[in-house]
A and B are shown apart, each in its own frame.
Chain A
């Protein structure tokens, strides 16, 4: 069958799955007084439609910021204004956004920037579209992550095709939709800077740098146009976007600070300022190796790995991280499905699992189970994950060197068994979270177990992806050219 019909079928299937999930319960359904994210979106439409621009981010009598105040950059506000004009079913807008922004980017990525036969590319499209985390959050919990992630993906695709200025434009738009895209900003910066260096700073490189800088500044200016008249406006918006007063973490999230808090109550020991500096330093330390490597070798492969490493490091060490932010590393990991199927599938499943407490709160148990099983089955079957499980294919060379003292074992098989064990444990923990009641002294036992378990996975995978990125030689040998790109 021709490609276009196969891809259309995959896209239609992906859209059907998404809409079917939206038929279930959503965040905050029937839960006064605060309800949930669905109510937040509805409230923003109200605010942007009825109030003048300079009042959107301020606490006024008409706009109580404590009740779902706007805390995303201006593009989200403009989008809410657009949605407010059509009082149709809100989930339609998520579907439309997916269809116009996220899905075309996925299709273009699979067909132009990934390797393999046409069949493999179609399978990649299907597997990326089946990633449960994004489906459940956007259509179950109800958010518009597909817009910001889609724009970021457009940025990657366009950069991969060689159009640097357009790529940076797409990324800046994405950043102006959700400020969490800052997690991806350092790799974009290092990649583009590295490319400028490669082209020589005296000459074409400098010209490219100037072009990109101008694009970025102009796009920012256009997005923030209504707020530029008054510096007080800009400060207030920034204050809403980065709530540093809220502490190191809220609720249970699978990152270092929350997990550390189990052993040492750092939230109470350190002051807010110390917490801020501490997390800042650790984050910077974690992203440094990956960023430097990307600067020195700005290829698409390095770029993808750097995106993973940077966003995952931010997730694990940064300030005020929410569990939904795991979607930010999940996007670049989706791009790795073709190259490193087993680790990618492992990470994506772990990321979905880490959000289990949120899904249970929203009444999304059945969609969670079904989409996770479907994703696992199809990605393992279609991408032949277990056949690409040799030491070589998984690039476990450095591990082999590190474990030189250990007895000789097939690291590929070890990885496979670890994967089986991990998935079984996730299934078991999911079952226990639903079926068993926690003991009275530890009411948060299961969410805590889920987040610590996920954290260990994320940490291990962060190490793995960093090693894969850094261990790659700077000058690739001729015969390995195809593989390392």
Chain B
């Protein structure tokens, strides 16, 4: 892809944007934090106080270590700074220890590690394509991208209120993407392997990386029509890639393999005992599936077609993380979700009749007609979103894995900007239930308004004109009604005590409509690009 020449002059606005959001993060230090805070404190304690051999066996606290070893080493290095703030937080037995020094340290650690994210955003901005013609600073794509990434609502509330280290992790992801956009593929691969060893949820997008690197990096040349030229296979490059993956993996898992603890580590990393849906119902396909199942079962009981006593007791709508059975529709097991996740991305490709929409899949698509790093990025987003839609025990925070990389595409193409607005607004709204305290309500509403207003007005100005059709706009305005219903109307109604999960249900189902719609549109846009390629040859 063509790399735009960055404005050689003034980048002084970038530190201003970065500092501004950092200041905001600092005053949120004393806001509500979730149990994830205790999770990370526990991991600090485990890695600091216990020898390596006990890290994955320790279970004094219910929040056991369930991230790959490299993240454990990260927590270990943090713990060395932590001991200067408050030694007590590093004692494993001090469960739910929240002294002011602990809170300050943990919050600051997230804010400081965000520097990786800030650097990654800068690199992405440098790679953004830009049309010639003088615009004022606020209208430039790289400025808009920087603002959309640095001030991303989801990242702000998940990292700096709810408490997680996503900024750091997504920074590595975006840096890897930026390196690929800049043509530095080995660095990109290294960064991604490191990321995989920090948090294994990124396995969902590993196939996109794998196929892209194999296709575009190991095969050094293409045929004139863009298809693979088998003779240009470079074993050297393949070996280079392989050695990177293996060496990082060895560094991370090596000590545990040597101690024979690999099965234990893997069982911690992949706990399939948890239910299909996380407690708060990520707005994906399964939310709709559950809704239909529940509706059918209620209808069945009302119409006397079903016996209430025979229905399974464990109900997902209780809002707890459990395994359960669906009442009417077939139950869904982990293997089924795996197949569903891979399906959109790995269907065998029939010869497509020109008119039909029977589609080549995303990854097959980049194998046959690679469109460089941008095609890879699109495939990555589709993979991330697909895994969100169909995955097992998906947390709604995972929507960020699709939203953040998609921002890069959104500032370059009009159609992508439209899909981005739909996906982002719905996805961000679905994060609202994470902050359920009354004191945080104004913050989440204000920040959501801030981000939504900015994204709409800046993208509209960039692409000169309305990006959404009336139906989409109505749907998004409906989010306001859902919010008022859930936060104001429902708590005052008589059903608040008997059916407390209804606001979550409504939020989840309403958002899954928007997210599914965005997924379909994104997929269609991917295929349409393939279609234009084919038409070009004919």
Interface of B is mostly: helix
Of B12, B26, B461, most buried by chain A (CB within 10 Å of CB) is B26
With known contacts A1-B461, A2-B457, A381–B16 Cβ distance under 8 A? yes
List residues of chain A with CB within 8 A of the CB of B12.
381
The segment from A7-15, A58-66, A251-259, A413-421 that touches chain B is A7-15
Q: Which residue of A lies closest to B454 (CB)?
A: A9
- Whether the pair B26, A366 counts as a contact (CB closer than 8 A) is yes
List residues of chain A with CB within 8 A of the CB of B23.
370-371, 373-374, 377
- Whether the pair B443, A24 counts as a contact (CB closer than 8 A) is no
**Bound Cα distance from A203 to B450, whole angstroms:** 52
- Whether the pair B27, A370 counts as a contact (CB closer than 8 A) is yes
Give 23 A-B contacts (CB < 8 Å), ordered by A residue: A1-B138, A1-B139, A5-B453, A5-B454, A5-B457, A9-B450, A13-B450, A16-B447, A17-B24, A20-B443, A21-B27, A23-B30, A23-B31, A24-B27, A24-B30, A367-B27, A370-B26, A371-B23, A374-B20, A377-B16, A377-B23, A378-B20, A381-B12
Closest chain A CB from B488 CB (angstroms)? 12
**Bound Cα distance from A374 to B28, whole angstroms:** 14
- Whether the pair A12, B450 counts as a contact (CB closer than 8 A) is yes
List residues of chain A with CB within 8 A of the CB of B485.
none
**Bound Cα distance from A9 to B12, whole angstroms:** 20
Q: Which residue of A lies closest to B147 (CB)?
A: A9
Closest chain B CB from A118 CB (angstroms)? 11
Closest chain A CB from B243 CB (angstroms)? 45
Q: Does A89 contact B (CB under 8 A)?
A: yes
Q: Does A19 contact B (CB under 8 A)?
A: yes
- 1/0 per position for B439-471, CB-CB distance to A under 8 A? 110110011011001100110010000000000
Tell me the count of chain B residues lying within 8 A, CB to CB, of chain A: 29
List residues of chain B with CB within 8 A of the CB of A370.
23, 26-27
With known contacts A24-B30, A366-B30, A367-B27, A16–B457 Cβ distance under 8 A? no
List residues of chain A with CB within 8 A of the CB of B438.
89
**Bound Cα distance from A89 to B450, whole angstroms:** 23
**Bound Cα distance from A370 to B19, whole angstroms:** 11
List residues of chain A with CB within 8 A of the CB of B447.
16
Q: Does A237 contact B (CB under 8 A)?
A: no
Q: Does B29 contact A (CB under 8 A)?
A: yes
List residues of chain A with CB within 8 A of the CB of B442.
15, 19, 92, 95
List residues of chain B with CB within 8 A of the CB of A95.
442
Which residues of chain B from 127 to 147 have a CB within 8 Å of any chain A CB?
A: 138-139
List residues of chain A with CB within 8 A of the CB of B449.
12
List residues of chain A with CB within 8 A of the CB of B29.
366
**Bound Cα distance from A378 to B17, whole angstroms:** 10
Closest chain B CB from A4 CB (angstroms)? 9
List residues of chain B with CB within 8 A of the CB of A2.
457, 461
- Whether the pair B27, A1 counts as a contact (CB closer than 8 A) is no
**Bound Cα distance from A374 to B27, whole angstroms:** 11
- 1/0 per position for A156-173, CB-CB distance to B under 8 A? 000000000000000000
Tell me the count of chain A residues lying within 8 A, CB to CB, of chain B: 28
- Whether the pair B453, A19 counts as a contact (CB closer than 8 A) is no
List residues of chain B with CB within 8 A of the CB of A19.
442-443, 446
- Whether the pair B19, A8 counts as a contact (CB closer than 8 A) is no
Closest chain B CB from A374 CB (angstroms)? 4
**Bound Cα distance from A373 to B23, whole angstroms:** 8
Top 9 nearest A-B pairs (CB, nearest first) are A374-B23, A5-B457, A20-B27, A370-B26, A12-B450, A16-B446, A19-B442, A24-B30, A370-B27
16 additional contacts, CB 8 Å, given A366-B30, A381-B12? A2-B461, A9-B453, A13-B24, A16-B447, A20-B31, A23-B28, A23-B440, A23-B443, A24-B30, A95-B442, A366-B26, A370-B23, A374-B19, A377-B19, A378-B16, A378-B20
Closest chain B CB from A399 CB (angstroms)? 32
Q: Which residue of A lies closest to B438 (CB)?
A: A89
Which residues of chain B from 29 to 59 have a CB within 8 Å of any chain A CB?
A: 29-31
List residues of chain A with CB within 8 A of the CB of B24.
13, 16-17, 20
List residues of chain B with CB within 8 A of the CB of A374.
19-20, 23
Q: Which residue of B lies closest to A373 (CB)?
A: B23
Closest chain B CB from A29 CB (angstroms)? 12
- 1/0 per position for A1-44, CB-CB distance to B under 8 A? 11001001100110111011101110000000000000000000
List residues of chain B with CB within 8 A of the CB of A5.
453-454, 457
**Bound Cα distance from A12 to B104, whole angstroms:** 26
Closest chain B CB from A74 CB (angstroms)? 30
List residues of chain A with CB within 8 A of the CB of B439.
23, 89
**Bound Cα distance from A410 to B302, whole angstroms:** 88
Q: Which residue of A lies closest to B27 (CB)?
A: A20
Of A2, A15, A20, most buried by chain B (CB within 10 Å of CB) is A20
List residues of chain A with CB within 8 A of the CB of B440.
23
- Whether the pair B28, A1 counts as a contact (CB closer than 8 A) is no
**Bound Cα distance from A12 to B454, whole angstroms:** 11
**Bound Cα distance from A20 to B29, whole angstroms:** 9
**Bound Cα distance from A24 to B439, whole angstroms:** 11
List residues of chain A with CB within 8 A of the CB of B139.
1
**Bound Cα distance from A381 to B31, whole angstroms:** 29
List residues of chain B with CB within 8 A of the CB of A378.
16, 20
Which residues of chain B from 459 to 490 have a CB within 8 Å of any chain A CB?
A: 461
List residues of chain A with CB within 8 A of the CB of B27.
17, 20-21, 24, 366-367, 370-371
**Bound Cα distance from A5 to B457, whole angstroms:** 7
Which residues of chain B from 283 to 329 have a CB within 8 Å of any chain A CB?
A: none
With known contacts A23-B30, A366-B27, A12–B457 Cβ distance under 8 A? no
With known contacts A1-B461, A89-B438, A16–B443 Cβ distance under 8 A? yes
Closest chain B CB from A117 CB (angstroms)? 11
Q: Which residue of B lies closest to A130 (CB)?
A: B23
List residues of chain A with CB within 8 A of the CB of B457.
1-2, 5
Q: Which residue of B lies closest to A15 (CB)?
A: B446
Closest chain B CB from A10 CB (angstroms)? 10
- Whether the pair B30, A8 counts as a contact (CB closer than 8 A) is no
List residues of chain A with CB within 8 A of the CB of B461.
1-2
- 1/0 per position for A360-395, CB-CB distance to B under 8 A? 000000110011011001100100000000000000
**Bound Cα distance from A64 to B20, whole angstroms:** 46
With known contacts A15-B446, A377-B19, A20–B458 Cβ distance under 8 A? no
Which residues of chain A from 152 to 191 have a CB within 8 Å of any chain B CB?
A: none
- Whether the pair B443, A12 counts as a contact (CB closer than 8 A) is no
Q: Which residue of B lies closest to A5 (CB)?
A: B457
List residues of chain B with CB within 8 A of the CB of A24.
27, 30
